[in-house]
Chains A and B, each alone.
Chain A
Amino acid sequence: MTTTAAVQVRDLRKTYDGEVEAVRGIDFDVETGEVFGLLGPNGAGKSTTIGMLTTTIRPTSGSARLCGHDVVTGARAARSVSAVVFQEAVVDRPLTGRRNLEVHAQLWGLSGADVVERVDDAIDSFALGDLADRPVGSYSGGERRRLEIARSLLSRPRVLFLDEPTVGLDPRMRVELLDLVDGLRDRHGLSIVLTTHYLDEAERLCDRVGIMHAGRIVALDSPATLLGAFGAEVLEVRVRGHADGVLSSLRAGRVAGDDAFAVGGTITIPLHDLPAARALRSLDGDEHVVAVTTRPPTLDDVYLRLTGDTLAA
């Protein structure tokens, strides 16, 4: 089936000052209505990618299109179909929340009664009624983030970029915000590109994720498919000292396969079809083993397996 992607990225690269390769040729599509996550630690290239897609960073080479508009040759058209919530607070703190919303709406081409109507709707939808006429400088981090998300939706964008939306928020605010972002799925035709280094967020929110490492996408699929590669359970073994020796012996005993990996003193072994009891028996009497547990795999496991080059066996 051929589809029209809301976001198309082809061999996109960014090299800063001719030396620092922040993004090293990435490809992905985001379909209309899809929530797509870019995962990776700080420095993986996620924010640079968002910067190029929002036309605030100039690509070195490659191409990217938003609803068919090239982000370099049709930058203004690309900006007109998108909106972004940045990692840091990007607001006019001395102005009220309402004024921040109005400025954004007007810059995205709304005027007159449309501005008033959309701003009032946003204030109602995002429960900003008590805050709207206060200077944004007096908002908490969560309130400010809520305002920024409301602002980003004023123009009814086709593509919404959320760059690390929960960074710096307390746990309660984080949960509230995740619920809010989850609710955006219902908006017809809105595609969301979300960056995060919280893998649980991606697992909860995203239809597909691209895992970034050192400027490249090293895995791209649905969370379920990525997790499925590990089977239903993984065995986590904590050992005293270096884990490499224990991992080698587990491999020799055919308890661990090639996809098992060690990070520090912790070995993670995808069990696939291997019964947990058999794996546990094989560890009996090993004096290096401190603790053993079984659990379902997480995207952390996927990420560590794919990016821990020097850590994985």
Chain B
Amino acid sequence: MTVLTDAAPRIVLPTSTDAGFGRAVGVLARRRLLLSARTPREIIVPLLTPILFADVIAPALAKATGTFGGIDYRSFVAIGTVGLLVPLSAVLGGIGMIVDRDSGAQRDLLAAPIPRAAMVVGNLVVAVGIASLQVAALIAASLLGGASFATSASGVAWFASAALGIAVAMHGAAEVLASRIPKQEEYIGAAPPVALVPWFFAGSFFTISSMPAGLTVFAKLLPLTHALALMRYGMVDHGGQGLHDIWGLSSVSTMAALSLGVVVLFAAGMTAIAVRVFSATAVR
């Protein structure tokens, strides 16, 4: 007769080992990249609207407006469209997570001996990589369309840090949405507002000081406003007018550091929330 035991000794297992967090992220990121490469719409579609803005609408408006706060309007809007491209790209990338859950290999990944946060971070790495390529393509298209950027290494660093921060944050938002929304059709309905609404208030087409006072206050609370002001500071607005509209301080570098802090905090917070929500919802 077999007697049930309450405390079986642990068996030492030579055949399977823990993949570790970094290694798991690497494997999952490669997997996500392969999946994204096979669905080019994830990469191409988010680019279309911003490029049309930068190369069709901005030049037309530039003719009417000329310069805006001392900045060529075409260049001003080119940076503003980054604030559309990055959130749109991240949020549309969330569809891939729903596909993963509904008809992909997500359950096998959940059964793997890896920290589940690695699944979120693996997706994040690819989302940021794709967003970087898209931003580079958008900047190139803007240059071809007549925009001009006078920048330096530190200017590029401010631009890249802000774009990276907002990409990370919006990927977190996409993960949260994808975890919370059960169906792809519902996600497609809910996601665009998340990507688009902040863009209208964040000083994409005009400085936030041009808006009614109440909306200006609201705009200052949006991390995207800080990101756009930083990106412009790095690429076109070397006097930091956009940053001054937010903070009203005299030191540009202090204001830039404060805005970067806001963006980084937002990115870290959204990533932490994304990991938490994913872990809570993926395991019932």
Judge whether A156 and B16 touch: CB under 8 Å.
yes
Judge whether A4 and B105 touch: CB under 8 Å.
no
User: What's the tally of chain A residues with a CB closer than 8 Å to chain B?
Assistant: 51
Judge whether B8 and A65 touch: CB under 8 Å.
yes
Stretch of B107-115, B130-138, B185-193 at the chain-chain interface: B107-115
Instruction: Flag B74-106 by CB within 8 Å of A: 1 or 0 each.
Output: 000000000000000000000000000001111
Q: Which residues of A contact B1 (CB under 8 A)?
A: 1
8 nearest A-B pairs in the assembled complex, by CB-CB distance: A109-B17, A80-B113, A68-B10, A156-B15, A107-B112, A94-B38, A79-B113, A106-B27
Beyond known contacts A8-B6, A108-B16: 16 more, CB 8 A cutoff = A2-B3, A3-B3, A10-B6, A68-B11, A79-B111, A89-B103, A90-B107, A91-B108, A92-B104, A93-B103, A94-B34, A95-B38, A100-B105, A106-B19, A107-B19, A109-B18
Judge whether A80 and B111 touch: CB under 8 Å.
no
Judge whether B39 and A103 touch: CB under 8 Å.
no
Judge whether A8 and B8 touch: CB under 8 Å.
yes
For window 140-156 of chain B, which residues contact chain A by CB distance below 8 Å?
none
Q: Which residues of B contact A51 (CB under 8 A)?
A: 284
For window 259-274 of chain B, which residues contact chain A by CB distance below 8 Å?
none
For window 136-193 of chain A, which residues contact chain B by CB distance below 8 Å?
151, 155-158
B54 within 8 A of A: no
Q: Which residues of A contact B108 (CB under 8 A)?
A: 84, 86, 90-91, 104, 151
B210 within 8 A of A: no
Chain B, Cβ-Cβ closest to A65:
B8
Judge whether A155 and B16 touch: CB under 8 Å.
yes
A305 within 8 A of B: no
Instruction: Flag B1-35 by CB within 8 Å of A: 1 or 0 each.
Output: 11111101111010111110001100110110011
Judge whether B10 and A69 touch: CB under 8 Å.
yes
A181 to chain B, nearest CB (A): 18
User: What's the tally of chain B residues with a CB closer than 8 Å to chain A?
Assistant: 42
Judge whether A5 and B8 touch: CB under 8 Å.
yes
Q: Which residues of A contact B35 (CB under 8 A)?
A: 92, 94-95
Q: Which residues of A contact B197 (CB under 8 A)?
A: none
A81 within 8 A of B: yes
User: SS class of chain B's interface: helix, strand, loop or mixed?
Assistant: loop
Judge whether B13 and A81 touch: CB under 8 Å.
yes
B99 to chain A, nearest CB (A): 9
With contacts A103-B105, A109-B17, A158-B13 taken as known, whether A56 is within 8 angstroms of B283 at the C-beta atoms is: yes
A16 within 8 A of B: yes
Other-chain contact of B31, A2, A55, A65, A92 (Cβ < 8 Å):
A92
Q: Which residues of A contact B16 (CB under 8 A)?
A: 80-81, 108-109, 155-157
A82 within 8 A of B: yes
Complex Cα gap A8–B15 (Å)? 21
Total A-B pairs, Cβ < 8 A: 135
Judge whether A155 and B4 touch: CB under 8 Å.
no
Chain B, Cβ-Cβ closest to A31:
B2
Judge whether B105 and A55 touch: CB under 8 Å.
no
Judge whether A56 and B111 touch: CB under 8 Å.
yes
Complex A-B: 20 CB contacts under 8 Å: A1-B1, A3-B5, A4-B9, A5-B5, A56-B283, A57-B283, A69-B10, A76-B18, A80-B17, A81-B13, A84-B108, A84-B111, A90-B104, A92-B31, A92-B105, A104-B112, A108-B113, A109-B16, A155-B16, A156-B15
A289 within 8 A of B: no
Other-chain contact of B2, A3, A76, A77 (Cβ < 8 Å):
A3
Other-chain contact of B11, A67, A79, A107, A155 (Cβ < 8 Å):
A67
Q: Which residues of B contact A104 (CB under 8 A)?
A: 108, 112
B119 to chain A, nearest CB (A): 10
A21 within 8 A of B: no
A83 within 8 A of B: yes
With contacts A58-B284, A67-B13, A81-B16 taken as known, whether A4 is within 8 angstroms of B107 at the C-beta atoms is: no
Q: Which residues of A contact B30 (CB under 8 A)?
A: 103
